[in-house]
Amino acid sequence: MRVMVVGGGGREHAIIKKIKENKSVSEIFALPGNGGIAQDATCVNIGAKDIDAIVKFAVENAIDFAVVAPDDPLVLGCVDALNEKGIKTFGPNKAAAIIEGSKVFSKNLMKKYGIPTAQYEVFTDMDAALSYLETAPIPTVVKADGLALGKGVIIATTREEAKDAVKSMMEDKVFGESGSSVVIEEFLTGPEVSVLSFTDGKTLIPMVSSMDHKRALDNDMGLNTGGMGTIAPNPYYTEEIAKECMEKIFIPTVNAMNSEGRSFSGCLYFGLMLTPNGPKVIEYNCRFGDPETQVVLPLLESDLLDIMLHISDKTLDKADVRFSDGSACCVVMASNGYPGKYETGFEITMPADKNIYVAGAKLDGEKLLTGGGRVLGVTETAPTLKEAIDKAYETVKEVNFANAFYRKDIGAKALKAIN
C-alpha cells in the first residue's frame, strides 16, 4: 500500500513511524516532511497548504491512502479534494473541520446541544466588544474566531489587557481575518486534559488521555508555545471522569455534528478543563494534537493504519483499538529563544534506535541540522509514569545540538497528582 502523510512536524513523524509498523505499507511519503522524517519516509517538497499540488501528487503517484494531519489543510478542504479524486483519506472534510476552524461555530454548537463549556459572548463589532468589557468579570478570555497558529487566545487579568487583545485582533488584525469575530468567555480553572479520539461519525473511541505543557519554562512560566512536552495517561482523568466525558461531551459532540450535517470522521481532539463544576470543553481540534500524539501513539498496541482504514470505511466498530496500561513521557527539545527569535542550522546528533520525533530539522548532505523552534521530541514508555519520565530525561542526554533548551519538569505536576 502506498501511503501519503500531509504535514511535517513531530506529530507527523510519530504518525509515520506507527503507520510503518503495518506490513502492507510499501512506500510512505511525507508532504513536506522534514530532515528527520526523511529517515522514515520519502519527503516531497510540497507545502501542507498547497491543496492543488497535494492532490496532483497523490494522483500521479498512485497513493492508496492519505492522512491529512495539520489543521490548515483540513480547514481548507484537503480531504474533500482528495476524495473527489477517489483517494481514501483519514481526516474530517471541510464541513466538519470547522469545529476547530471557527471558535464561534464550536461555541454555538456546544450551546445549542448543551455540551458543557465556558459561558461566552460573540462579537463582530469592536465597539460592542469594548463596551461589554467595561463590566465583564475579570479575568476573562479573548479568542480570535479562526486559526491563529495557536496564538489566538489571550487570558486577560485586567480590563485594559482584555481591551488591548480585542483591539489587536479586530482593529490591528494581527491574526488577519481570523480576528474579524472574537469570542469573549468566562475564565475557568482546573486541571487540563487532552483527549484525542478516533471517530467515524458513528462510533467514538477515546485514546489514552494526556497532559500538555504549553508554557516555555519550568513551573508553567514564560510564553505559551505549541507544547514543550506531554505525558500520558493524565492522572487527573479518572475512570469516573472519563465516563462522564463520554456521556456529556464526546457522544453529544459526534451526534451534534451529525445533526448539523457535518459528520466528523478522523481524530477529534477534546481540550478539557476539569472545573469544580465538572469537565468542560476548552477547545476542539479537528486533528491529532502536537505533542500529545508523541505520547499517545507509542502507547497504542494495535495497528494505526488498520484503524484509520476502518474509519474511512465507517467501520470503526469493527476495528481493534487497544492501548497499553503503561505510561509515556515526551520531552520537547527546542532552539534557545523559542517561541521568540532563535537561530537554526546547528548539527543534531542522536541515537538512532529511540522514539525521537523530529519536528524542525533539515538535511545538509548526511548531516541533520536544526531548522525550527521545536526541534524534536524524545519519548520513552515504561510501566509507570515516574519510570517513563526518568527514561525520557536519560535519553535527552544522548541528544546533542547547540543552543538546545528544554523543560526539566515535564510530568512533575502529574507525578504530584498521583502521590
Nearest distance from C-beta of residue 241 to ligand AMP, angstroms = 17
192 is a site residue for ligand AMP (CB under 6 A): yes
For residue 184, the cross-strand partners are 121, 142
In the bound complex, what is the minimum distance in angstroms from residue 135's beta carbon to ligand GLY? 32
Q: Which residue, 55 or 274, is less far from ligand GLY as judged by CB?
A: 274
Can you read off the three cell numbers belonging to residue 303? Answer: 495497528
Kindly give, in sequence order, each residue whose CB lies less than 8 Å from that of residue 257, ignoring residues fewer than 6 positions away.
96, 99, 109, 201, 263, 264
Is 212 near ligand GLY (CB under 6 A)?
yes
Residue 155 contacts which entry, ligand AMP, ligand GLY, none (Cβ below 5-8 A, type-dependent): ligand AMP
The yes or no reply on residue 271 touching ligand AMP (CB under 6 A) is yes
The nearest distance, CB 84 to ligand GLY, in angstroms, is 28
Per DSSP, 50 falls in state -
Cell of 102: 471557527
Question: And the C-alpha cell for 401?
Answer: 545540538
Q: Which residue is nearest to ligand AMP (CB)?
A: 283
- Confirm or reject binding of residue 106 to ligand GLY (CB under 6 A): no
Q: By C-beta, is 200 or 283 nearer to ligand AMP?
A: 283
Concatenate the DSSP letters of all residues of 256-302 into one string: HHHHTT----EEEEEEEEEETTEEEEEEEESS--TTTHHHHGGGB-S
Judged by beta carbon, residue 117 or residue 203, the one nearer ligand GLY is 117
Residue 96 vs 141, nearer CB to ligand AMP:
141
Report the alpha-carbon distance of residue 179 to residue 182 in Å, rounded.
6
Distance CA 392, CA 408 (A): 11
User: Which three three-digit cell numbers place residue 21?
Assistant: 509498523
Binding mask 234-273 for ligand GLY (x = CB under 6 A): ----------------------------------------
Q: Does 200 bind ligand GLY (CB under 6 A)?
A: no
Does position 145 bind ligand AMP by CB under 6 A? no
Q: What is the DSSP letter of 403?
A: T
Residues 325-384 that bind ligand AMP (CB under 6 A): none
CB atoms within 10 A of CB 357: 30
Instruction: Report the C-alpha dihedral over residues 166, 225, 274, 101, rounded to 10 degrees.
Output: 60
- Site for ligand GLY, residues 8 to 37, rule: CB under 6 A: none
Binding residue count for ligand AMP, defined by CB under 6 A: 14
Q: How far is the CB of 292 from ligand AMP (least distance, A)?
A: 12
Answer with the entry of ligand GLY, ligand AMP, none that 285 interacts with (C-beta below 5 to 8 A by kind). Answer: ligand GLY
Asked if 118 is part of the footprint of ligand AMP (rule: CB under 6 A), the reply reads yes
Q: How far apart are CA 233 and CA 162, in angstroms?
A: 34
How far is residue 16's CA from residue 5's CA, in Å, rounded to a whole number? Answer: 7
Q: Which residues pair with 171 in a beta bridge?
A: none
- Burial grade of 252 (CB within 10 A; 0-12, 13-18, 19 or more): middle
Q: Which residues does 247 contact at the CB level (< 8 Å), separation at least 6?
A: none
List binders of ligand GLY among 270-329 (CB under 6 A). 285, 289-290, 292
Which one of ligand GLY, ligand AMP, none is in contact with 290 (Cβ closer than 5 to 8 A by kind)?
Answer: ligand GLY
Is 380 a residue that touches ligand GLY (CB under 6 A)?
no
Residue number of the CB closest to ligand GLY reads: 289
Q: How far is CA 397 from CA 331, 354, 379, 386, 400, in A?
A: 11, 12, 13, 17, 7
Closest by CA to 351, choosing from 114, 39, 22, is 39
What is the rounded CA–CA span in Å between residue 256 and residue 249?
Answer: 10
**Calpha distance 328→390 (Å, rounded):** 11
What does 227 interact with, of ligand AMP, ligand GLY, none (CB < 5 to 8 A by kind)? ligand GLY
Among 100, 185, 200, 290, binds ligand AMP (CB under 6 A): 185
Region of 10-18, 71-79, 169-177, 179-187 interacting with ligand AMP (CB under 6 A): 179-187
| E strands present in 359-418 | 361-364, 367-370, 374-382, 404-405
Q: Tell whether residue 141 is a contact of ligand AMP (CB under 6 A).
A: yes
Q: Which does 292 bind (CB under 5 to 8 A by kind): ligand GLY, ligand AMP, none?
A: ligand GLY
Specify whether the CB–CB gap between 5 and 29 falls below 8 A: yes
* Shortest Å distance, C-beta 296 to ligand GLY: 11
Which of 95, 153, 205, 246 touches ligand AMP by CB under 6 A? Answer: 153
- Residues lying near ligand GLY in the complex (CB under 6 A): 212, 227, 285, 289-290, 292
- Residues lying near ligand AMP in the complex (CB under 6 A): 118, 141, 150, 153, 155, 185-188, 192, 214, 271, 282-283
